[in-house]
């Protein structure tokens, strides 16, 4: 997303659709969305994760439509274009050519989203890309540790689940902004509480140590968001939950 733009649902949606529009029309839908929403994906694409991300994008598109209606913007200025965005993000057939969906991403649609991004006026907090890169690097390091380490299979499953939650939040951040990190905290806390007995006495393992470090980095980044976010009280509560995760992993 261009740095001079407001950071809100409309601007993020526009940026994603603009990138999607430039994908080769001959490749399958699956590959097109993977290139846009999971930029560092390998040869094997996680279909389930991809569908979740596209559905998150659709949620943002619906929120743009609702916000436009709330602000009493005449429906002829946005409704037909937002509906085109919803048609472009259908995922019923992931193997069909991207051309079948790309045709719905028009310059008029992108102009509509630019208009909405300006009118909505909201400018959400954006994390520093270097912070995101650092967390992603630690996650890759943890994945390698899981692959080469020799830990209890049940504990390994727990750590892998945590990794998937963290990876999803980073992928979703580019779609939903800081709301994605809120979801990561909620899921992460539940997973830790459910596996409290499993974790106890294992906190000196390198896998748990790396996991703890990742959550600490997430918490540090979120504290910056709390300081810049209007809903600071809700963010403070989430940071407290993040502290609980770190405490359990310590």
* Prediction pTM value: 0.84
Which residues touch 190 (CB under 8 Å, ≥6 apart)? none
Q: What are phi and psi of 203, to 5 degrees?
A: -70, -10
DSSP label at residue 177: T
CA nearest to 64, candidates 115, 108, 9? 9
Which residues touch 194 (CB under 8 Å, ≥6 apart)? none
- pLDDT above 90 coverage of the chain, percent: 54
**Are 12 and 1 a contacting pair, CB within 8 Å?**
yes
Q: How far apart are CA 211 and CA 37, in angstroms?
A: 24
Q: What is the model's pLDDT at position 71?
A: 93
For the cut 60, the answer to whether the pLDDT of residue 13 exceeds it is yes
CB atoms within 10 A of CB 84: 19
Average pLDDT over residues 172-190: 85
Range of lowest pLDDT (20-34, 162-176, 187-201): 187-201
Average pLDDT over residues 183-204: 84
Q: What is the model's pLDDT at position 216?
A: 86
Q: What is the model's pLDDT at position 77?
A: 92
- Identify which has the larger pLDDT, 179 or 238: 179
Q: What is the model's pLDDT at position 97?
A: 96
Q: What is the model's pLDDT at position 233?
A: 62
DSSP per-residue string spanning the chain: --TTS--SHHHHHHHHHHHHHTS-TTSBHHHHHHHHHSTT--SS--HHHHHHHHHHHHHHHHHHHHHHHHTT--GGGTHHHHHHHHHHT--S-TTSBTHHHHTT--HHHHHHHHHHHHHH--------HHHHHHHHHHHHHHHHHHHH----HHHHHHHHHHHHHHHHHHHHHHHHTTHHHHHHHHHHHHHHHHTHHHHTT-TTSHHHHHHHHHHHHHHHHHHHHHHH-S-HHHHHHHHHHHHHHHHHT-
Q: What is the model's pLDDT at position 242?
A: 65
Average pLDDT over residues 198-212: 87
Q: Which sequence spans correspond to the domains of the chain?
A: 9-120, 129-248
Average pLDDT over residues 203-222: 86
Q: What is the model's pLDDT at position 188?
A: 84
Task: Write the pLDDT tens digit of every residue in 79-133.
Answer: 999 999 999 999 888 899 999 999 999 999 999 999 999 998 776 777 778 888 8
- Identify which has the larger pLDDT, 127 or 187: 187
Q: What is the model's pLDDT at position 237?
A: 66
Tell me the pLDDT band of 30, cut-offs 50, 70 and 90: very high
**Highest mean pLDDT (candidates 34-48, 187-201, 218-232):** 34-48
- State the average pLDDT for the chain: 87
Q: What is the model's pLDDT at position 228?
A: 63
Q: What is the model's pLDDT at position 106?
A: 96
Tell me the pLDDT band of 40, cut-offs 50, 70 and 90: confident
């Amino acid at each position: 997303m261009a740095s001079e733009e407001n950071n809100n649902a409309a601007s993020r949606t526009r940026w994603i659709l603009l990138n999607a529009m430039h994908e080769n029309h001959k490749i399958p839908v699956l590959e097109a969305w993977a290139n846009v929403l999971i930029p560092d994906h390998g040869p094997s694409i996680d279909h389930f994760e991809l569908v979740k991300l596209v559905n998150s994008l659709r949620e943002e598109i619906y929120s743009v439509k609702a916000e436009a209606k709330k602000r009493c913007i005449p429906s002829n200025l946005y409704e037909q274009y937002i509906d085109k965005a919803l048609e472009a993000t259908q995922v019923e057939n992931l193997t069909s050519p991207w051309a079948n969906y790309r045709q719905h991403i028009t310059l008029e649609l992108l102009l509509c989203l630019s208009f909405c991004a300006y009118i909505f006026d909201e400018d959400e907090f954006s994390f520093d890309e270097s912070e995101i890169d650092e967390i992603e690097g630690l996650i890759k390091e943890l994945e390698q540790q899981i692959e080469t380490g020799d830990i209890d299979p049940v504990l390994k499953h727990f750590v892998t689940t945590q990794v998937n939650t963290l990876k999803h939040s980073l992928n979703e951040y580019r779609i939903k902004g800081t709301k994605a990190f809120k979801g990561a905290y909620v899921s992460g806390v539940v997973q830790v509480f459910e596996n409290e007995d499993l974790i106890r006495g294992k906190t000196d393992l390198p896998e748990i140590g790396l996991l703890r470090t990742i959550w600490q980095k997430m918490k540090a980044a979120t504290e910056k968001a709390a300081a810049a976010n209007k809903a600071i009280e809700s963010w403070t509560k989430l940071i407290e939950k993040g502290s609980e995760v770190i405490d359990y992993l310590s």
